[in-house]
Amino acid sequence: MTFLLTGVTGQVGSIVARNLLDRGHRVRALVRDPGAAAARLGTDIEYVRGDLEDPATLPAALKGVDAAYLATAPSPEMTRQEANFIEAAAGTGLPRLVALGVIGTDPSVPIFKFHQDIEAKITASGIPATLLRPAGFYSSFLFMAKMIQAGVLPSAAGDGGLAWVDHADVAGVATAVLLDGSRHVGQVVEITGPVALTTDDVAAALERELGHPVAHQRVDERTLQVELASFGLPGWLVDSFLGQQRLTRAGRLSTVTSTVENVLGRPPRTFDQWLAENKGAFA
């Protein structure tokens, strides 16, 4: 089978590509710079030059594919970019689409609103599709590495838990859904880790693995907003992070699903497993 992947250089997409290749399928990647992508991911992928901001470049890439995987880097532009792809896919009669979103649906959180708008466009297009909604990735904590090195993990999530997940498990589920034909068409697939972790849980795990104190620094949203903005993060990203913290504090992101075990036949990887493999990033 031939699969078209967007976001192939992303942390999920790159694993999906390798998974499909390892199973003997053809992978076509829509990229802006084929040379740079090939240097990073290897030459056994077919790279097609295209840009989600330029709809004219998309139909050729969609020709002859059995299914497509749609994911883009989070940004306010992602709704327009993915809408361009969806329109081109509908116009070329794409047989099947698997789209990567997020598990949250509250439109007051910018990143959740972006994904909700995209999902609405997919539904309206009539393309046979599966919507993947993963929880936050364990790898998100890499962005806080410097603070964790300093022994603090600030949050406004209180005692709320979030069912964080390993992005490799998300890639595994995405691969299986791509390969499963029409079995998951029309479904919304929520993907979580094995347990909802509080910030206290995360801090304790970091402390055990890294061998130095890591304290959960409880702060209010305004304090956290100022701290995040001081890193130069754009406003939409700060608001998205604060929104996630607010929903976590309210217990609205703590649902644990059995998707990974049902689809992959094994339990989802734990935060401790992920951390043991990535502790060097916090050293």
Q: Give the contacts of 141 (CB within 8 A, at least 6 positions apart).
A: 148, 202, 206
pLDDT exceeds cutoff 90 at 231: no
Contact 107, 14 (CB under 8 A): no
pLDDT at residue 123, as a whole number: 98
Q: Answer whether residue 179 is part of any domain.
A: yes
Residue 116 lies in a domain: yes
Domain region containing 23: 2-137+166-192+255-268
Mean per-residue pLDDT, 55-84: 97
Residue 232 in any domain: the answer is: no
How far from the centroid of its chain's Cα atoms is residue 238's Cα? Answer: 17
For residue 158, is it within any domain? Answer: no
Of residues 26 and 181, more confidence is placed in 26
pTM of the full predicted structure? 0.96
Domain count, the chain: 1
Q: Which residues contact 156 (CB under 8 A, 6 or more apart)?
A: 218, 219, 220, 221, 223, 224, 242, 245, 246, 249
In a domain, 72, yes or no: yes
At residue 40, the 3 state secondary structure works out as: helix
Are 130 and 158 in contact by the 8 Å Cβ rule? The answer is no
Q: In b/e form, how buried is each residue of 226-255, taking b as 16+ CB within 10 angstroms?
A: eebeeeebeebbbbbbbbbbbbbbeeebbe
The arithmetic mean of pLDDT across residues 226-233, rounded, is 90
- In the chain, the percentage of residues whose pLDDT exceeds 90 is 96
- On the CB side of 3, how many CA atoms lie within 13 Å of its CA? 30
CA atoms within 13 A on the CB side of 233: 20
Q: Domain for residue 264, yes or no?
A: yes
pLDDT at res. 199: 98
pLDDT at 283 over 90: no
Q: What is the CATH number of the domain that holds 10?
A: 3.40.50.720
Contact 156, 250 (CB under 8 A): no
Residues 6+ positions from 114 with CB-CB distance below 8 Å: 74, 76, 78, 79
Q: Give the pLDDT confidence of 14-40 residue by residue, as tens digits.
A: 999 999 999 999 999 999 999 999 999
For the chain, what is the mean pLDDT?
97
In this structure, is residue 156 part of a structural domain?
Answer: no
Are 80 and 109 in contact, with CB atoms under 8 Å apart? no
**Is 157 among the domain residues?**
no
**CA nearest 259: which of 110, 133, 78?**
133
